[in-house]
Amino acid sequence: MFWHIFINRLKILLRSKSAIFWTLVFPIILATLFNLAFSNLTSGEYFETIDLAVVNNDNFKVEENFKDLIQSLSEDSEEQLFNTQYVSLEKAKTLLQDDEISGYIIVNDKINVVIKNNGINQSTIKSVVDNYYQVVSVINNISKSNPEAIRNGVLEKLNESTSNFNDVSNENVDPIVVYFYTLIGMICLYGGTFGVNAVIETEANLSKKGARVSVSPVHKFKLLLASFLAAIVIHYSEVLILLGYLLFILKIDLGNQILPVLLLTFVGSLAGTSLGTLIGVSNKKSENMKMSILISVTMLFSFLAGMMVLQIKYIIANKIPVLANINPVNFITDGLYSLYYYNTLDRYFYNVIGLLVFTLVMFLISYIFIRRKKYDSL
């Protein structure tokens, strides 16, 4: 009985032209437009020196070790990290306000980094200062506990370790791919159109087929599960087609860990379909209104994940992290980002688990709504 329902749901969903358009045709069109808009936008610019200002006050002049570090990182070479200006405090503030520098450093009682916005450049500046403090702390501890080690060349080895700011970005580092990540996340959530469609076919007040289903002896959980699985099979097949289009036609680099990418997008498809199922069962609106709600929610999630303005993703993560931790598009984007940039699975699995929790919550709430649905007459 279950597999009979499953096959019927597959046939019904495959006849939904609007769902096929939004989940297959539309993403391919959008990916093509993205590729045309961003083509060669960052080619040959894997790493750029960071514009930095240093307040050239008396404290900075006295801090000889830090002064030498900044100068070494600003030398014109293949390993140059900073394009440094030595200016007054007023000039540094003006440069930062006019966005001519990523930040400035001022040495008072301690070394302070002043920035206007958050980003990779600003994080790099702070990392240099933090690294300097760590090295100074280690040297001070060694000189107190084991002065003999200083005379044996430990200091020189520590100095060598501070010059590791090489361009390791390689040809992978392309910020434009993040837009394609949010596109993948958005399309995973568009799987909710199948979830909505499945609900329409089972609600007595929305379709004649739903009326017949409502009076059938089939358990509602079994019906919901069969509809959900049918939606997943169709939608994830479309996600695979989109990934193939991005990889082999548009040549978008999704990293070299294809199996984790497939797992992440599969879980993303589960999350999208479960979201659509909840929207379908949680209100008595028309089919068009349910679809409008789904698309609106998906676009909001995509916006907060940086699809329209990339910086929004970092603002949300820093200022309102709770929104980032309930946003399935952000989970997908961040999971792909962690594989591509950091090649690490810790952060990746955090996002996979987040998507699974989101899916479970959506599915359980949907089941509660379905169990409580009753009709006065059919």
- Please state the domain extents for the chain: 2-41+172-372, 50-161
Which tokens in the block code for residue 66?
């830090």
Q: What is the pLDDT of residue 162?
A: 45
Q: What is the pLDDT of residue 209?
A: 55
**What's the topology of domain 50-161?**
D-Maltodextrin-Binding Protein; domain 2 (3.40.190)
| Contact partners, residue 183, CB within 8 Å, separation at least 6 | 27, 30, 31, 34, 307
pTM of the model: 0.64
H helices of the chain, in order, are: 2-14, 17-20, 26-38, 58-62, 64-73, 89-97, 120-145, 147-151, 154-161, 177-189, 192-200, 208-214, 220-244, 258-281, 287-304, 310-319, 321-324, 328-337, 346-372
Q: What is the pLDDT of residue 95?
A: 94
Q: What is the pLDDT of residue 85?
A: 94
Q: What is the pLDDT of residue 170?
A: 39
Q: What is the pLDDT of residue 150?
A: 47
Q: Tell me, what amino acid is at 295?
A: I
Per-10-residue mean pLDDT for the chain, 378 residues long?
A: 80 84 92 82 61 92 86 84 93 93 92 88 88 75 61 49 45 68 94 85 57 56 80 94 94 86 96 93 86 93 87 85 93 90 82 96 87 55
Q: What is the pLDDT of residue 168?
A: 43
**Cα 32 from Cα 323, distance rounded (Å):** 29
Which 8-state DSSP code applies to residue 288?
Answer: H
Assess contact for 359 and 267: CB atoms under 8 A.
yes
